[in-house]
Amino acid sequence: MPLRGIRVLDFGRYIAGPYCGALLADYGADVIRIEGPAGNEDRFSVPVAEDGSGAMFLQMNRNKRCLTLKPGSEAGREIVRKLVTTADVVIANMPDDALVKLGLDHPTLAALNPRVVLVTASAFGSDGPLAQHVGFDAVGQAMSGAVHISGRDGEPARAQVNYVDFATALHCAFGVMLALRERETTGRGQRVSGSLLGTALAITNGLTIDHAVNGVERGMLGNRAFSSAPTDIFATRDGWIMTQVVGNPIFARWARLVGRPELADDPRFASDILRGNHGEELSAVMVELVRGADQRASLGRTGRGEGSGGAGAQALGGIGPSASRGNRAGRCDGLSGRFRLCPGRAHADHAVGERQGKAGCRAATGGRQRRDPRRDRL
């Protein structure tokens, strides 16, 4: 595994910090999640396990070991200091004043271990008037304008998927890789800083540039797109289908499939942006096409009707194993070769390595955990 031998102390909560740690753990890093003795509040969101642990907690803390302490107590601070001397990376998604209070700011960490990399994920970054404020994924969605353009009929819409949190974690993990790479040359660690607002603005930057340069107010589009069409969601007799038609060749294919080949030569639809400007009209063609038809027939006509991929149509339905089977992004099998969770909480307020309860990770697939001698000692 490429990160074998890298130790990470994960003080993160909820998504942005813990998911960064999960990504590092997926590729071999020894990640130790550190939380309060009763478990941090993010452990119990959307409970699914017998002990109350939540779905998000299990997702974010796969392949990690778990350790509990009170970082504000003197005993907890001493444990953290000892751990920092052995660590390569420290993850903490909290404002700067909280980092200083807990002794997790980079100057304090670097005094203990000059090679350590601190990665922070906050709501608004370390500078500016909002630097000490906290926030969640929705703050980024709102302040970047995403909830506005996704709305309809005058009502903004927030995405149910926390994409700002996850993208921030990805940026932070990439930053860790760069910092570790630079450390090979300099011998010193550094701080990697990510923010929800910065991530959200990076994702919506194309919309910002369009507005600044073209001066166009795109307004609320709902499920449609301003830069292509027909990109929308349509009701069938027994379900829904979604189309995303991008590029002239695919648009011409879609026009043939829906029995309107002349649309490909219509100057109003000569480019993606022109089609986006006339998105309502093109969506109306799809509405009529699938009205009264069942989902399978509609998808067969527009999604699979002409070669592989058809015209960019896909059925919409519930979440299930079939949605991702055969379409996995990378391997997340951990050090043991299995997908692992982190259900236990080890109490370590009194001494490093003196643990009560069930520390470490247990295979999600059941059975005994295969021991790794590198992970026996904190």
| Residue positions annotated with a catalytic role | 165
The DSSP output letter for 121 is E
What amino acid is encoded at 140 in this protein? G
Counting Cα atoms < 13 Å in the Cβ hemisphere of 51 gives 11
C-alpha to C-alpha distance for 234 and 66, rounded to whole angstroms? 46
Residue 198 in tokens: 């910065």
Report the candidate in 236, 255, 228, 246 with the shortest Cα–Cα distance to residue 312: 246
Phi-psi region of 229 (alpha: psi -120 to 50; beta: other; left: phi over 0): beta
Burial 222-240 (b: 16+ CB within 10 A, else e): bebbbbbbbbbebebeebb
Bridge partners (DSSP) listed for residue 155: 152
Please give the torsion angle defined by the CA atoms of residues 178, 28, 350 and 369, in that order, rounded to the nearest 10 degrees.
170
Which burial class, exposed, middle or buried, applies to 151 when counting CB atoms under 10 A from its CB (0-12, 13-18, 19+)?
middle
Which burial class, exposed, middle or buried, applies to 186 when counting CB atoms under 10 A from its CB (0-12, 13-18, 19+)?
exposed
Report the candidate in 61, 55, 53, 57 with the shortest Cα–Cα distance to residue 20: 61
Question: Do residues 51 and 348 touch, judged by C-beta distance below 8 A?
Answer: no
Bridge partners (DSSP) listed for residue 65: 32
Measured from the Cβ of residue 85, the count of other Cβ atoms closer than 10 Å reads 11
DSSP character string of 288-316 = HHHTT--HHHHHHHHTSSSSTTTTSEEEE
Report the candidate in 254, 209, 251 with the shortest Cα–Cα distance to residue 228: 251
In the block, tokens 């974690």 appear at 169
C-alpha to C-alpha distance for 322 and 9, rounded to whole angstroms? 35
